[in-house]
Every structure is written in structure tokens, then in C-alpha cells.
Amino acid sequence: MRVLKTLLATAALATGLGTAAIAEDKTKVGFIYVGPVGDGGWTYEHDQGRKAVVAEFGDKVETIYQESVPEGADAERAITQMALAGADLIFTTSFGYMDPTIAVAEKFPDVKFEHATGYKQADNVSVYSARFYEGRAVQGHIAGKMTKSNIVGYIASFPIPEVIRGINSAYIHAKKVNPDVQFKIIWAYTWFDPAKEADAAKALIEQGADVVLQHTDSTAPQAAAKEAGNVVTFGQASDMGDYAPFPRVSSIIDDWGPYYVARTKAVMDGTWESVSTWDGIGAGMVGIGEISDAVPADVKAEAEALRDALADGSYHAFTGPLNKQDGSAWLAEGETADDGTLAGMGFYVEGIEGEIPSN
Amino acid sequence: MDLGQINPILLLASLMVAATPILLAAIGEAVVEKSGVLNLGVEGMMITGAVVGFAIGVNTQTPALGFVAAAVAGAALSMLFGLLVLYLKSNQVATGLGLTLFGLGLSALIGKPYEGIKAPTMAKWDIPLLSDIPVLGPILFKHDPMVYVSLIIVAATWYVLTKTRAGLILRGVGENHDAAHALGYKVNRVRLIAIAFGGACAGLGGAYISLVRVPQWVEGMTAGAGWIALAIVVFASWRPWRVLLGAYLFGGITVLQLNLQAAGVALPVEVLAMSPYVVTILVLVGISFKGNHGAPGSLGRSFHATH
């Protein structure tokens, strides 16, 4: 039975909370994850950020995390539990934790909260996100150049502004270099479900897509593209370098480490304030993974120039003239989108077919 | 919108692939429930099968060995459940749920070194002559061997349950364990064998996801397939061929809705996305109206030989 007990204990550790509170002087930092830390994408990168905090502060911090917390009502329970466990700072790392985070924050005014990708702030709730759409612009450019069938498949997750921004940004830049390009969009209604993501990728490939972009977190679409043989993909949230140089030709990499370290430091110093952070390629929160040799050299050079222009601010990914899907004018020649519109983006730009599902 | 973009032949072929994991898990669970035991640990056994099958498949570069190992692992895990509910008389629902949690954690632990590794490819069988038949050939005769194995398991289950003495005993144990005991049948032994079979099938289903359908190891990759399998068993009124129908229906609608979305069909995406579940619920309601659910009489009840 001892073996059994050890196994059970190990399993409990692997699934559940890390360690219990021991010393009072340590700063305790909690993380709520939407997927498992081994997803190879979104949650993996948040956990890398957590590890950066541990590496920076060593014994002075204690980190706890809970994986695969469903968005919605159960999230509130998980966040509450973490606050009750004595966390000083809690990062809730998915859009769907927005309302639960606000609700729990009201009950624990002394605990600091940081919600990723949302837009609801409070005295003890900061919001932070990355300008993933800048990375999507680079992807769109490469996708438009690489597609031979002129059909680009897009596995979308949920119809929220972040995802819609990504689709628009990728489309605008694909269209710019390839006027014939067409986007086929599948809403998977999940952040993480490898089997469903694989099915979605296969459906897109069967209908002629030879580039597949994904806004879901697992590497399953990469595997599906690899099996198909002639389909280009991009790493999402993490480098997914196991699939380089082909089908994965580049990637968007989220780098949360510096932010998590800075915010933990602020709590330790007592200087923490509620802020809204939205950084892009320039600040290093969004990285573009190495563009592989499967991409022709001239396309690679163009993509890198685009990346650099986005980084130094000389170019904005949403620069007019741009119309909305219904043909109405949105941005005039040379005008750039303001952050308010981008944060609440609920429309497609002109040229994309299909409707955005109501959320 | 252009329905012509959907190739019905590819659609039907991918339907069979999408449905195979839940088919395997559901047929195993159907046998377990026929023997009177409710094992809610299907998800846990599937994910364990997925990781063990993947690990062995990668290490030996032989997917077939991976599947064998997955079946053994699923059965081994189910024996833990069997021991607890049959001999220590623990509550079946709670123990089954515990098994799922345990399996998810254990698989995450085993799977750590295997993240990001590619699976050995499983050659598809191109059955000579038959695969050349127009339309039917590509749909039915160009799959990997496990699709056929799953169909054989369904046929064998049907045959054993309905045509053999062993099947009669198993059903008897499930319908009324006291009567079966009075007749001298070893209730717990029969149930233990059924649970092992269910575990092995769930393990195979999990390995099919990690070795064929996705194919790679990702933590938590079964993502609820085990729960769908449990629903399919009820949907099927515990009958093997209906399990096949239910699994293919569910898998089919799942694949179809993705294809319809990609083709830009002017139906709300929400409706498409929920359609597999809605159809499953509708059929369940329909079956309930007919009155005869076919649930085994002793399902979920502990057996005490002394009573």
C-alpha cells in the first residue's frame, strides 16, 4: 500500500496545488491556468513566466498554481481558494476569468490580482495583455506569400476581441501581398482540446487550405499539417520549435517573465498599483520565432522588416485606409486604430467572409 | 457558402477516425455496465492508455506494441477500481471519479518526458482490390488497422453478450446479482473480468488519440472524450451495435460541423458547435419516451454475498 500512497500523493501534486504555506515572510504568488502546463503553448509560456519569478527571487517567493481551471463559475472557486491559501498576488491567465477575478477581488481587498487579456480593472485588479496582433501581421504577410491555393485556414477559439483582432490583422497583411487570398475560419469554442484542434485543422486542409493559423493552444494542428505534408503553420503562444523548419515556419512567442518579475517586485516593495499594460513586439512581450528556411529569403527579409517596423513604432498593424466588413469606412488613409477600438474589436475588416458568432 | 467544397468521401473517412476513440471506450464501458458496475473512471483510463501507449510506441517505434501496452495499462488501472468497489465495497460513483482524477495526474507525471516528441506513424492499410472500389473504397478500406480492430471488438462483444453462455452469465450478474449468486456464479469474479475488459478498451481508445488521431502526447489531451463515451453507453441502451451507431453519429456531427464552418455555411456557429451534444440529448430523450431504457437491474449497486 505504501507504493499506492506514494503514487496517489505524486498524482495529487501533479494535478493540484503546488505546496502549502510555510513561512509568513515569503511573498506568495498564485497562478490560475486554463490548460495544463504541458500544453506546449499558452499555459506553458505563463508557467515559464512563473519560473522566471522563482529564478529571480529564490527563497523570497513561493509560487502556487492550479492547472486546467475551467472558465466560468468554477474559476471563482479556484481563485477564492488561492486567496484563502494566503496568496499576496494572483495572476489569472485567461480571458474567461475576468468576471470571477473581479468578484473575488472585491472579497479580498488586500490581495493583488492581475488578469490577463481582459478589460475590467479595479483598485486591486490590474489588467495586462500583449499585442499579439502585431505578431499576426507578420504571420499574415508570410501566409499571403506562401499560400498556393490562396486559401488560408484559421482555427479560432472564442469570439472575443483578442481573437478577432488577430484574424483581422492576419487578413489585412495577407491581403496586402496577395489580393486573391481567402480566409476560412473555424470557431473551435475551446482554448485547448488537441483532438478537436486536429479535426479542425484536417477539415481546413481537406477544403484546400495550405496555410493554417491557430488561436488555440496545443500543437495538434502542427501535427495534422505535418501529416498532410504541404501545409504551412505557425507556432502559437509558444515557439513550437519541434515542428520547425516545416510545417512550422515561424511563431508568436509570449514572454511573460519580465512582467511577472516586475509585478512581484512591486508587491514586495509595496509599490504595487492597479495598472493596464498592453505591450507588443517593441517591449519584448511578443516575440517572433525564427523564420525558418522553408520561407524564401526575400519573404523572410520582408517579414523581418515588418517586424522591426512594428517594434520601433514606425508602422501600426491597423493603418488606414481600412473598411469594416459591411463596407463602411473605419480608418482613413494613414490613420491608425486607437487602443479603445482595438480592445473592444467586434467586427471583421472588409473582405473577410462569414459572420462573427455573437459571444 | 459553397457546400461543394466539402468532399463527402473525405468527410465520411474522417468521421470513422474521429469516432474510434469514443467507440472503443464506450463498448468497453457498455460491458462493464452490463455486468452491473458503473465505472466513471473512463476518462482516467483513457488518458493513462494515451500516455502509456505513446511512451511505448515511441520507445519501440512500433505503434502496435504501444496499443498493447495501452490496453494493459488501462486494464491495470481498472483493477485498482475493481479492487476498491468489489472487495472493499467502496462507492462506485466516488471511486470512479477518483480514478479519473488519479489517471489525469498519473498520466501528466508519466508524460512529462514525452512532450513535443512525434509519434511513430502507423501505416494505413490499403486493402487490395477493396480499396479500389469507387466511393466505398476510400471511405471504408483505407484506414489504419485500429479502426478495423474497433469494429471487430464491437462485433465480438455483440456475439459474446447475446449468443454465448458467458454473455448470459455476465448479463445475469448485471440484472440481479443476488439471483446470480444464488445460482452459484462468482459475481465478483465476473465483474472483475468485465472491468478489466472495460479498462483495456478505454486504454486502446486513449492510445488511438495519442498515436493516430492527434498524434502526439499533450497533457489532458482526451479532453472529456471519456465522459462522452459514458453518455454514448446510455444513448445506446447498453447494446453493442447501438454503441457503434452512437459513436459514429457523435463523431460524424463533430466532423461535419467543422467542415460546415470552414465552408462558410450561413448557420450560426453556436448552433453548429453544440449540434453533437444537442443531437445526443434529443436521441436520449427519444429513447426515454419509449420507456425501455435497458439499464441493467443491479447497475451501480454494491454486492454483499452475505445478504
Same structural domain, A262 and A312: no
**Rounded to two decimals, what is the model's pTM?**
0.80
Query: What local confidence, expressed as pLDDT, does residue B138 receive?
Result: 75
Are A302 and A188 part of one and the same domain? Answer: yes
Contact A220 B10 (CB under 8 A): no
Nearest-by-Cβ selection for B108 from A36, A159, A194:
A36
Q: What is the pLDDT of residues A89-147, one digit of tens each?
A: 999 999 999 999 999 999 999 999 999 988 899 999 999 999 999 999 999 999 999 99
The minimum CA-CA distance between B98 and chain A, rounded to whole Å, is 10
Residue A39 and residue B218: Cβ atoms within 8 Å? yes
Per-residue confidence band for A15, with pLDDT thresholds at 50, 70 and 90: very low
A213–B contact, CB cutoff 8 A: no
The whole-number pLDDT of residue A10 equals 47
Provide the domain count of chain B: 1
Contact criterion met (CB < 8 Å) for A195 and B223: yes
Residues A176 and A320 in one domain: yes
The answer for residues whose C-beta is within 8 angstroms of residue B179's C-beta and 6 or more apart is B172
Strand partners, A65: A31
Q: Let me know if residue A269 belongs to a domain.
A: yes
Whether residues A149 and A225 share a domain: the answer is: yes
Residue A265 maps to a domain: yes
Q: Do B105 and A38 touch (CB under 8 A)?
A: no
Q: What is the length of chain B?
A: 307
Amino acid at B299: L
Q: What is the mean pLDDT of residues B244-251?
A: 90
Per DSSP, helices labelled H in B209-239 are 225-235
From A203, which residue of chain B is nearest by alpha-carbon distance?
Answer: B259
Same domain for A60 and A203 = no
Is residue A354 in a domain? Answer: no
Q: Verify that A57 and A151 share a domain, yes or no.
A: no
Residues A150 and A10 in one domain: no
Same domain, A45 and A194: no
For chain A, positions 57-96, list CB contacts with chain B under 8 A.
68
Number of structural domains (chain A) is 2
Contacts of A182 in chain B (CB under 8 A): none
Q: Which of B104, B213, B266 is nearest residue A198 as measured by Cβ atoms?
A: B213
The reply to whether A1 touches chain B by the CB within 8 Å rule is no
Å from B246 to nearest chain A CA?
Answer: 18
For position B306, what pLDDT does the model report?
66
Interface contact A38-B269, CB threshold 8 A: no
pLDDT tens track for B155-180: 999 999 999 999 999 999 999 999 99
Contact A357/B at CB under 8 A: yes
Mark yes or no for CB contact A11/B106 under 8 Å: yes
Range of the domain at B172: 3-121+144-290
Q: Does residue B47 lie in a domain region?
A: yes
Q: Which residue of B has its CA nearest to A194?
A: B221
Query: Is-contact B173 B185, C-beta < 8 A?
Result: yes
Chain B residues inside the 8 Å CB shell of A223: 118, 214-216
Q: Is B128 among the domain residues?
A: no
Mean pLDDT of A248-253: 92
Q: Which of A7, A38, A187 comes nearest B261 by C-beta? A: A187
Residue at B191 is within a domain:
yes
The complex scores an ipTM of: 0.77
Q: Give me the domain span that covers residue A24.
A: 2-131+256-279
Centre a 10 Å sphere on the Cβ of residue A119 and count the other Cβ atoms it contains. 15
Write down the pLDDT at residue B144: 86
The count of CB pairs under 8 A between chains A and B is: 139
Kindly determine whether residue B218 and residue A219, on different chains, have CB atoms separated by under 8 Å: yes
Residue B65: other Cβ atoms inside 10 A? 15
Interface test with A, best of B10, B80, B124, B214 (most A CBs within 10 A): B214
Q: Is residue B159 part of a domain?
A: yes
Does A36 contact B273 at a Cβ distance shorter than 8 Å? no
Measured distance CA(B171)–CA(B169) in Å, rounded? 5
C-alpha cell at B5: 467544397
- Cα–Cα distance, A185 to A152 (Å, whole number): 9
pLDDT at B41: 95
Query: Could you say which residues from 307 to 326 on chain A have a Cβ atom under 8 Å away from some Cβ of chain B?
Result: none
Is residue A107 assigned to a domain?
A: yes
The tens digit of pLDDT for each residue in B120-163 reads 777 676 677 777 777 777 777 778 889 999 999 999 999 999 99
Contact B21 A37 (CB under 8 A): no
- B219 Cα to chain A: minimum distance (Å): 6
Residues 83-112 of chain B with CB under 8 A from chain A are 101-102, 104-106, 108-109, 111-112
Q: CATH number, domain at A245?
A: 3.40.50.2300
Say yes or no for a CB contact (<8 Å) between A199 and B18: yes
Pair A51, A69 in one domain: yes
Question: Alpha-carbon distance A153 to A149, whole Å?
Answer: 11
Cis peptide before A321 (omega within 30 of 0): yes
At residue A237, φ and ψ (nearest 5 deg) are: 70, -35
Q: Is B8 within 8 Å of chain A by CB?
A: no
Rounded distance, CA B4 to CA B13, Å? 17
Q: Using CB atoms within 10 A of its CB, is residue B266 exposed (0-12), middle (13-18) or buried (19+)?
A: exposed
Residues A114 and A144 in one domain: no
| Sign of the torsion formed by the C-alpha atoms of A252, A253, A259 and A260 | positive
Indicate whether A138 and A117 sit together in one domain. Answer: no
- CB nearest to A354's CB, from B222, B223, B264: B264
pLDDT at A219 over 80: yes
Inter-chain residue contact A242 with B261, CB threshold 8 Å = no
Judged by average pLDDT, the poorest of A203-207, A352-356, B3-7, B208-212 is B3-7
Q: Check whether residue A203 and residue A240 sit in a common domain.
A: yes
| Domain annotation covers residue B297 | no
Query: Any idea what the CATH number is for the domain that residue B154 is in?
Result: 1.10.3470
Q: In what order do the strands lie in the sheet with A286-289?
A: A182-187, A151-156, A211-214, A232-235, A248-254, A286-289
pLDDT band at A157 (very low <50, low <70, confident <90, very high): very high
